[in-house]
Structure 1
Amino acid sequence: MKWTQVIDPLNNITLSVLIAAMPIIFIFWALIIKKMKGYQASLIAIAIATVIAILVYGMPVKLAVLSIAHGSLYGLFPICWLVIMSVFLFNLTVKSGQFEIIKHFMASITSDRRLQALLIAFSFGSFLEGTAGFGAPVAITAAMLVGLGFNPLYASGICLIANTAPVAFGSIGIPITVASQVSGIPEMPISQMVGRTLPILSIILPFYLVTIIAGFKKAKEVLPAVLVSGVSFALLQYLSSNFLGPSLPDVIAGLGSIVCLMVFLRFWKPKTIWRFANEPAPTLNTDITYTGGQIVRAWSPFIVLTIMVIAWGMQPIKDALNSLGLFQFEVPGLHNVIQDKDGALLPKIFKFNYLSAAGTAILIADLVAIPMIGLTYSDGAKVFAATLNQLKFPILTIAAVLGFAYIVNDSGITLTLAEVLANTGYLFPFFAPVLGWLGVFITGSDTSANALFSKLQYATATSIGVDPVVTVAANVSGGVVGKMISPQSIAVAAAAGDLVGQESQLFRFTVKHSFIMLIVICFITLAQAYAVKWIIPVYEMINSKKLVAAPDASRGYIYLIVLAVLLVTLASTILVIARRKKQTPTLVN
């Protein structure tokens, strides 16, 4: 049995849109007005979307149930798998006492909360987004800021907002790769176009973040550091995206901005150290010092994490790992059963890439780090059990959110909303980022949003005489500002920031900033389409007949051997340092 999606089920596009928007309006209402817990809002939204899918869109009950189950399964793996391992890594550093040394190190650079937020939420988070993505940056950086003493709501909120700048190039450029595959436009021009939009946001974002934290006047006090952070990031993001491609902008810009800001802070300090209201004064004890070896040991879990996520992002290693550990299956009763409006059957395949998943890379980092930071594997098992207990409600929330995303996509509800935006004619470039924003809000992923709407962006732009690379890139750029309010992202940030059950507070904290940034990107896209056409790169469409070489896993095996040697060397060095000098602070007379 085949079932075909419909875009206008009521034969009146206005009424169809009003009905289609009800589940999304409910989420906003539930989180902003009713202040519901995240998992409650998500489960009710699923029920509303299912009723609409079945009664209005005519989706068979069996398909609706299978679609929700498919989405929930994806929520558990790879999303929850990654979140659990990320929080587990942070909890290990706390349990071992190493995070106290990290806190001391960060305070020695600066104990100013404004600058700590720039270093960790903005720069380090961007680096993690470029390597791992899919929730890991927010999970790790929010946990780190809370550990440093940040207010949990501010820690989670600013990490979500800071995550906007790098999302387009996340996971070694996967969102742009998918946009290219779906639209037929080569990766490089999309990367260039996105790289000529987001650096504007990247320059503004650090000052915007500090203003959110401390207010406009206090933000001006650290304007030199803010400019160093934002301009260095934006410049490196622009150069790498325009001349190297979509794979490395986040890695290069994230690391570059960390180095630039740390060097700058050696020569410049703010006149006053800013802390949160009612927060104790900085407690850096200058009588306590740590050796370089002790500091490296404390940071070693994150050093190993960095090595692992970079390695797992390399295509040869992915190919090698998938050749050894990839189990995939067609979802029974759902695969090739739903037809889109053009009659194409939608494949529904679940890929259980248990070796190449980013969560597995972080798990290996966890296991390598346990002895390096002075814990036993028995201690690690206890910390892991505590982490699972800590995340039980976020796991439920994430599974529910992905179930919701899949039912609204498979039923055609999302396509109804997209159709209205596509019919805005001359103004479509202004609304093109809204499509990406909507897609990321629903799915939680810029990659998924690009898979969903890139073809529509291409076709609509072509029909109104606008270069399609502008609107396809706008889908990518618009999606980044939807990430901060996606229920999936909110659930991840709440879990990391110890705000379980308070997702509504986090949503209300970020939602206005999402709309402000979206409007900015809408105007930039409109200008690119009509006023500053010279900014559009020259390119040729992908030749669909071009042969694609089969993946060669052998090179990946060599990389894995090199990686193993690197990890063993690093772990041995750290353990030798630990044996030479016990992990105790040195008192200076």
Structure 2
Amino acid sequence: MFQQLITPVGGSLGLSTIVAILPVAVVLLLLGVLRRAAWQAALSGLIVGLVIAVTLWQMPVGLALDATANGAVFAVWPVMWIVLAALLLYNIAVATGRFDAFRAWVLEYLPNDRRVVLVVLAFCFGALLEGIAGFGTPIAIIGSLLIMVGFKPMDALVFALIFDTAPVAFGALGVPITVLGAVSGLPAHQLGQMVGRQLPVMAFILPFYVTALYGGWRSIKALWPMLVVAGGSFAVFQAITSNYINYALTDVLASLGSLVVTVLFLQSWKPAYDAEFAIEDHVLDAERTSGISPWQGWVPWVIVSIVVIVWTLLNIANIGQQLIHWPGLDKAISITLYHGKPYAAVWGFQPLATGTAILVSAVITAFVTGLSPAGFFKCIGTTIRQAWIAVVTVMLIVGLAYLLNYSGLAYTLGLGLASTGHLFILFSPFLGWIAVMLSGSDTSGNALFGNLQTVAARQLHLNPILFAATNSSGGVMGKMISPQNIATGVSVVGMVGQEGKVFARTFIHSVVFTVLIAILVAVQQYLIPWIIPG
């Protein structure tokens, strides 16, 4: 059994931590500074990671390749299976005129103001898509919608990425919280409550932040009543559901509640007309030759919402599940940081996973909207052409994430940050941030560092529930710079190769919000500790 090394570089935790972060730094450098394509950044980071893992961390080559392959397979199923099915649904909506009808609904029932449309679509509706599919799907669909109402492609993707944070921790009916409870040994419902006392603050701020970013401070002055309603309703529904109902339902109720409340509010209140942000005439005058009612635009999204919710509540995904112990890797490594605990490598293959539920939704949508079999297969071809580069990118980046985990580099990095004394309060959110940036998943980030956060908190006499929850809350801020999210988005809106530019535009915002989480954690730990459950 290979025993992970923690301080292989000169026996120094500091030096080892610096070396351990190099694969991550390479990805950040190539994406954010050199503006390379996401697959190139991911491949380079993976190569650097393999060299360091095999040489300095002395991981056997076979185990290193096995770990990378395990991550790549997980990236295909279930991660990209969800994305492919969701993009197929999107393409069916486009082919049947329902996507155009949805745009018509937006233009008819929302004020003629791109700032308002941005908040309703990217924040309220985007949160629903994140809760249903996630893994970059909201970026692709919301980005396309924003472009159709007049946003520049770069702006559309950047704003969609920033907004795609508040609902992430409770995605897929609370799976990230459930996993966090399992790995940390803490009650999942208390962790859900704690996250529900952190992220609502960010949810309330987000509409103001993005509106100021897009339209300046005068837009805040013009739109503040709507921003209060949108951000406030989401924050209230998120806090109440996670704390007093069931954290598994948080995303569904918060996104739907915010969407309904905000749209109803806009029927009685509208901002003053501003020519600078008015939707351009050629967009307003665009003809819809299909004659489809604007309300028909909701058909695909209503169908997928109902199917996924029922699918999850009935636990259909577990039917036919196969637990495959990865050959040569499962329990072949001991986690030194966790007293030699054998590192399991079990791939849970679920033929009826969430992606299959979305595929069923796509088939139902095609049938209901009258799409021919030939048209359906044409949409499949379009989906494959759009997404194949994103699939490769995600396989590379998740392969790197798994390599860092199994080699021990991730544990060296985590222990290095956890050994900074009470400065750990500031670094804690960034542990989750790094994990989610690499894996694209808050669930994976919690599985990696959730227990480490708990151990470090107890050693420093801090509250373990607060810091385990912080791993999840900080992690969601890494979603906006995840190569997985970005690659999926640019593939659909026709910006392949510009991932580096998108990353550079979102990176500073990701850091700003993670720092805000760190400040919030410090306040909760020292000034208002009574807010922590248990």
TM-score range, shorter chain: over 0.9
Residue 344 of structure 2: aligned partner: 347
Residue 108 of structure 1: aligned partner: 108
Residue 171 of structure 2: aligned partner: 170
For 1:194 and 1:358, how far apart are their aligned partners in 2? 24
Equivalent pair of 1:113/1:275 in contact (CA under 8 Å): no
For 1:373 and 1:396, how far apart are their aligned partners in 2? 32
For 1:117 and 1:351, how far apart are their aligned partners in 2? 38
Residue 502 of structure 1: aligned partner: 498
Residue 364 of structure 2: aligned partner: 368
**What pairs up with 1:34-183 in 2 under 5 angstroms?**
34-110=34-110, 111-183=112-184
**In structure 1, which of residues 386, 391, 408 is the aligned counterpart of residue 387 of structure 2?**
391
Q: Aligned pair in 2 of structure 1 residues 478, 299: CA closer, same or farther (>3 Å)?
A: same
Equivalent pair of 2:164/2:480 in contact (CA under 8 Å): yes
For 2:301 and 2:287, how far apart are their aligned partners in 1? 27
SS of the residue aligned with 1:354? coil
Q: Which amino acid aligns with 2:411?
A: L
Report deviation, 1:298: 3.1
Instruction: After superposing the two structures, state which structure 1 stretch, 38-47 or 87-96, moved more.
Output: 87-96
Q: Which amino acid aligns with 1:366?
A: A
For 2:268 and 2:144, how far apart are their aligned partners in 1? 29
Q: Deviations over 1:59-102 (max 9, x none)?
A: 01111111111111111111211111111111112122222221
For 2:239 and 2:282, how far apart are their aligned partners in 1? 37
Residue 512 of structure 2: aligned partner: 516
Q: How many residues are treated as equivalent by the alignment?
A: 530
Report deviation, 1:276: 6.5
RMSD, aligned CA: 2.1
Q: Aligned pair in 2 of structure 1 residues 267, 218: CA closer, same or farther (>3 Å)?
A: same
Q: Which amino acid aligns with 1:317?
A: N
Report deviation, 1:286: 11
Residue 457 of structure 1: aligned partner: 453
**In structure 2, which of residues 327, 338, 357 is the aligned counterpart of residue 332 of structure 1?**
327
Equivalent pair of 2:418/2:456 in contact (CA under 8 Å): yes
Q: Aligned pair in 2 of structure 1 residues 520, 35: CA closer, same or farther (>3 Å)?
A: same
Q: Deviations over 1:463-516 (max 9, x none)?
A: 222121111111111111111112222222222333221110110111000000
Residue 586 of structure 1: aligned partner: none
Residue 306 of structure 1: aligned partner: 305
**What pairs up with 1:422-441 in 2 under 5 angstroms?**
422-441=418-437
Residue 375 of structure 2: aligned partner: 379
For 2:134 and 2:284, how far apart are their aligned partners in 1? 33
Q: Aligned pair in 2 of structure 1 residues 271, 322: CA closer, same or farther (>3 Å)?
A: same
Q: Which amino acid aligns with 1:375?
A: L
Equivalent pair of 2:101/2:296 in contact (CA under 8 Å): no
For 2:136 and 2:149, how far apart are their aligned partners in 1? 20
Q: Deviations over 1:261-287 (max 9, x none)?
A: 11111111121256669x733643599
Equivalent pair of 1:192/1:245 in contact (CA under 8 Å): no
Q: Aligned pair in 2 of structure 1 residues 247, 69: CA closer, same or farther (>3 Å)?
A: same
SS of the residue aligned with 1:222? helix
Residue 481 of structure 1: aligned partner: 477
SS of the residue aligned with 2:328? coil
Q: Deviations over 1:542-565 (max 9, x none)?
A: xxxxxxxxxxxxxxxxxxxxxxxx
Q: Which amino acid aligns with 1:103?
A: R
For 2:102 and 2:275, how far apart are their aligned partners in 1? 19
For 2:163 and 2:250, how far apart are their aligned partners in 1? 15
For 2:175 and 2:283, how far apart are their aligned partners in 1? 42
Report deviation, 1:26: 1.0
Q: Which runs of 5+ in 1 are unaligned?
A: 539-589
Equivalent pair of 2:102/2:295 in contact (CA under 8 Å): no
Equivalent pair of 1:108/1:284 in contact (CA under 8 Å): no
SS of the residue aligned with 1:332? coil
For 1:92 and 1:149, how far apart are their aligned partners in 2? 22
For 2:238 and 2:16, how far apart are their aligned partners in 1? 41
Residue 545 of structure 1: aligned partner: none
For 2:275 and 2:448, how far apart are their aligned partners in 1? 44
Q: Which runs of 5+ in 2 are unaligned?
A: none
Q: TM-score, normalised by structure 1?
A: 0.86
Q: Aligned pair in 2 of structure 1 residues 60, 307: CA closer, same or farther (>3 Å)?
A: same
**What pairs up with 1:523-538 in 2 under 5 angstroms?**
523-538=519-534
Identity of aligned residues (%): 38
For 2:134 and 2:18, how far apart are their aligned partners in 1? 34
Residue 4 of structure 1: aligned partner: 3
Residue 567 of structure 1: aligned partner: none
Q: Is 1:19 aligned to residue 19 of structure 2? A: yes
Q: Which amino acid aligns with 2:48?
A: I
Equivalent pair of 1:75/1:399 in contact (CA under 8 Å): yes
For 1:509 and 1:497, how far apart are their aligned partners in 2? 17
Q: Which amino acid aligns with 2:441?
A: S
Residue 322 of structure 1: aligned partner: 318
Residue 413 of structure 1: aligned partner: 409
Q: Aligned pair in 2 of structure 1 residues 337, 267: CA closer, same or farther (>3 Å)?
A: same
Equivalent pair of 1:298/1:373 in contact (CA under 8 Å): no
Q: Is 1:253 aligned to residue 254 of structure 2? A: yes
Q: Which amino acid aligns with 1:264?
A: F
SS of the residue aligned with 1:350? strand
